[in-house]
């Protein structure tokens, strides 16, 4: 890689970095007051000057590489850009000293001296800028030549770099005692950038002082690029502004990857034969692309203090939100989760925005909700990372709240309908049994007592079934046996009943009281109209993944006038409950038996999670 190519790459990267930082800071202009507004003014001024400095250098190198003569308009304009920005730096550093004196307690005499120096720098900067313009347009200088103006400016910049570096060292103990990691990182960044710039400027000026300096052109480039670490240290000082954390993450990781790629290009041109250069370039580009995520994570841990990536934290918050299963715990649990994850003093989910909230986010739920975040702990502002986490959490909350609302609505509707259906069934037991008891009390008291016990067992089961969604087939069969015992007391020898149950299915779960209407239908419409009576047979077996229950009777059949297929309240209730529980998978069929009687065929799928 040639020196001109290296210069172009460096100046282009510097222009992008300073331009983006300037835009991010300037966007806060109308949203800040007091000290923060002075931060914005200073940050915008630094960004504009450093951008023109880097972009002017980039434009000059680009025009030179494309063959533009030095007398061309754009060439002269590029010179005004970077030299004009250069002479503005000392005044900018003086204003920085003034700002440091305002925000610091007990400013150091060095800082006070740097602040006082800005007053004579105002006329000097105006004079120097006029000298720059005259020199670029080949006009005779006023008093001082352009070279002398540039050297004076560079020495003033070196002086300020040393002042800011020494103050950073002196002030380091105070920032460490504050206990705020961001302030400590800002102090370290200021010290590093200050001494780096001072060292590069000393080496560069040594060359101008006619001292032997190896690799002098690259030393000059490094000195010119010190505006980048300087802007990074400024970003650390303005870390409390939103998106400064994202700016630092992207700039630092981008610079590391750019340095790696430029090194790969240098190796390609210096060491490799032409036949391997394209392969080396391709492999290097692929490696840089794949290194983006791990490098960014390393930057977040090392320079920003984040122990996990934002994607990992988003996924963890999502898992915690999706673990909620009830709407009544939604507000309190989510508030606890977000208060912890976003480091907020408080977080609430309410139908209306909470007064005094630092941030508010609308949750697009079936009923409108708002996520209100109180101030961040320690008086710190919410950074771009916390805002991104909050917005992602709001989307997750909206989706999960909708799911929970729909689930609970369906569940409440189904329970209400099923309990209403069960309530329709229960009165049949009472009326039939009271008629039997009225006849037995005087004729057969012992049998009446036994029937009363069976009735108590039936109503105990009926009462419990209104509170249960599932019962075992074994419990349902015991209930049917009690019911048939009462009916046998009523019909005496005209009714016989039998159970043929596969032992393997007795523990399977079914909806409560789903079989009683079938048995009642067999007795009432099959056996009762037949003079000689008949028998009721209940069988149950497993068929693949289904439970098949059959209720057979030897009565008059279901084509008679007294027994029309599917017209009874009990059978309609059974079908409605099957639809609620199983959808189309649960079926009930009535079939004619030969030579007489009716078969009720009930087929139930065995759902996962409803086995004993």
What span, in angstroms and rounded, lies between the C-alpha atoms of 249 and 226?
18
Share of the chain above pLDDT 70, in %: 88
Write down the pLDDT at residue 549. 94
- Give Cα 489 distance to the centre of its chain: 67
Checking if the pLDDT of 422 tops 70, the result is no
Tokens at residue 487, please?
A: 């009916």
What sign for the dihedral angle of Cα 540, 543, 547, 549? negative
Helix (H, G, I), strand (E, B) or coil at 190: helix
Structural domains in the chain plus CATH codes: 3-241 (1.20.1070.10), 243-305 (no CATH), 310-406 (no CATH), 444-605 (3.30.565.10)
More confident: 172 or 348: 348
Write down the pLDDT at residue 415. 61
354-382 pLDDT, tens digit per residue, is: 888 888 888 887 677 888 898 888 777 78
Which residue has 């523990």 as its token pair?
507
What span, in angstroms and rounded, lies between the C-alpha atoms of 527 and 496?
10
382-412 pLDDT, tens digit per residue, is: 888 888 889 998 888 888 888 887 777 666 6
The band of 565, judged by pLDDT with boundaries at 50, 70 and 90, is: very low
Torsion (CA) 346, 350, 355, 361 in degrees, nearest 10: 80
Task: Give the lowest-confidence range in 407-411, 416-420, 573-577.
Answer: 416-420
Checking if the pLDDT of 563 tops 50, the result is no
User: What's the whole-model pTM score?
Assistant: 0.60
Checking if the pLDDT of 239 tops 70, the result is no
527-538 pLDDT, tens digit per residue, is: 888 888 899 999
| Residues 551 and 515 sit within 8 Å (Cβ to Cβ) | yes
- φ/ψ of residue 588, rounded to 5: -130, 125
- Helix/strand/coil (H, E, C) string of 337-382? HHHHHCCECCEEEECCCCCCCCEEEEECCCCCEEEEECCEHHHCCC
Beta bridge partners of 604: 547
Q: 267, exposed or middle or buried, with CB in 10 Å at 0-12, 13-18, 19+?
A: middle
The band of 429, judged by pLDDT with boundaries at 50, 70 and 90, is: low
| Residues 361 and 394 sit within 8 Å (Cβ to Cβ) | yes
Tokens at residue 583, please?
A: 């959808």
Nearest to residue 322, comparing CAs of 410, 413, 402, 411? 402
Write down the pLDDT at residue 11. 92
295-310 pLDDT, tens digit per residue, is: 988 888 888 878 888 8
Mean pLDDT score, 439-466: 81
Mean pLDDT score, 36-63: 88
Q: Tell me what the pLDDT averaged over the chain comes to.
A: 82
Task: Give the lowest-confidence range in 37-41, 133-137, 368-372.
Answer: 37-41
The band of 612, judged by pLDDT with boundaries at 50, 70 and 90, is: very low
């Amino acid at each position: 890689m040639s020196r001109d190519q290296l210069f172009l790459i460096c100046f282009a990267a510097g222009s992008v970095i300073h331009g983006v930082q300037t835009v991010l800071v300037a966007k806060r202009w109308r949203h800040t007051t007091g000290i923060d507004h002075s931060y914005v003014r200073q940050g915008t001024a630094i960004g504009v000057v450093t951008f023109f400095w880097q972009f002017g250098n980039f434009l000059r190198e680009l025009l030179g590489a494309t063959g533009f003569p030095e007398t061309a308009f754009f060439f002269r304009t590029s010179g005004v850009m970077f030299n004009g920005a250069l002479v503005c730096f000392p005044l900018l550093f003086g204003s920085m000293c003034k700002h440091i004196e305002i925000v610091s307690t007990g400013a150091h005499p060095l800082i006070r001296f740097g602040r006082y120096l800005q007053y004579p720098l105002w006329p000097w900067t105006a004079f120097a800028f006029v000298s720059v313009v005259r020199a670029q347009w080949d006009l005779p200088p006023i008093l001082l030549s352009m070279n002398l103006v540039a050297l004076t400016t560079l020495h003033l910049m070196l002086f300020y770099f040393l002042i800011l570096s020494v103050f950073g060292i002196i002030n380091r103990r105070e920032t460490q005692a504050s206990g705020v990691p961001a302030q400590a990182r800002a102090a370290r960044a200021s010290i590093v950038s200050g001494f780096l710039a001072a060292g590069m400027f000393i080496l560069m000026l040594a060359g101008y002082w006619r001292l032997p300096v190896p690799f002098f052109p690259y030393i000059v480039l490094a000195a010119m690029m010190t505006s980048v670490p300087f802007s990074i240290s400024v970003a650390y000082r303005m870390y409390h502004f939103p998106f400064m954390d994202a700016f630092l993450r992207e700039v630092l990781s981008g610079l590391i990857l750019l340095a790696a790629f430029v090194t790969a290009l240098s190796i390609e041109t210096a060491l490799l034969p032409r036949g391997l250069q394209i392969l080396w370039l391709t492999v290097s580009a692929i490696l840089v692309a794949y290194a983006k995520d791990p490098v960014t994570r390393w930057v977040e841990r090392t320079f920003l203090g984040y122990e996990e990536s934002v994607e990992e934290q988003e996924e963890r918050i999502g898992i915690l939100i999706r673990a909620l299963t009830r709407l009544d715990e939604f507000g309190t649990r989510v508030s606890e989760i977000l208060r912890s994850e976003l480091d907020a003093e408080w977080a609430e989910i309410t139908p209306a925005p909470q007064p005094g909230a630092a941030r508010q986010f609308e949750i697009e739920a079936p009923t409108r909700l708002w996520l209100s975040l109180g101030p961040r702990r320690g008086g710190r502002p919410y950074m771009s990372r916390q805002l991104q986490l909050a917005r992602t959490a709001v989307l997750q909350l909206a989706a999960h709240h909708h799911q929970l609302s729909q689930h609970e609505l369906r569940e409440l509707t189904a329970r209400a309908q099923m309990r209403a259906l069960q309530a329709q069934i229960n009165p049949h037991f009472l009326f039939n049994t009271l008629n039997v008891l009225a006849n037995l009390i005087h004729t057969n008291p012992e049998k009446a007592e036994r029937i009363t016990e069976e009735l108590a067992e039936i109503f105990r089961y009926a009462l419990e079934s209104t509170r249960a969604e599932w019962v075992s087939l074994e419990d349902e069969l015991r209930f049917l046996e009690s019911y048939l015992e009462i009916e046998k007391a009523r019909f005496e020898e005209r009714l016989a009943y039998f159970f043929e149950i596969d032992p393997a299915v007795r523990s399977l779960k079914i909806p409560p009281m789903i079989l009683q209407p079938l048995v009642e239908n067999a007795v009432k419409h099959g056996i009762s109209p037949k003079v000689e009576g008949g028998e009721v047979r209940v069988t149950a077996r497993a068929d693949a993944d289904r439970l098949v229950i059959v209720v057979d009777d030897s009565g008059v059949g279901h084509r008679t006038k007294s027994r029309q297929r599917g017209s009874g309240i009990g059978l309609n209730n059974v079908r409605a409950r099957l639809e609620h529980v199983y959808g189309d998978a649960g079926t009930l069929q009535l079939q004619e038996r030969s030579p007489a009687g009716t078969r009720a065929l009930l087929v139930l799928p065995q759902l996962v999670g409803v086995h004993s």
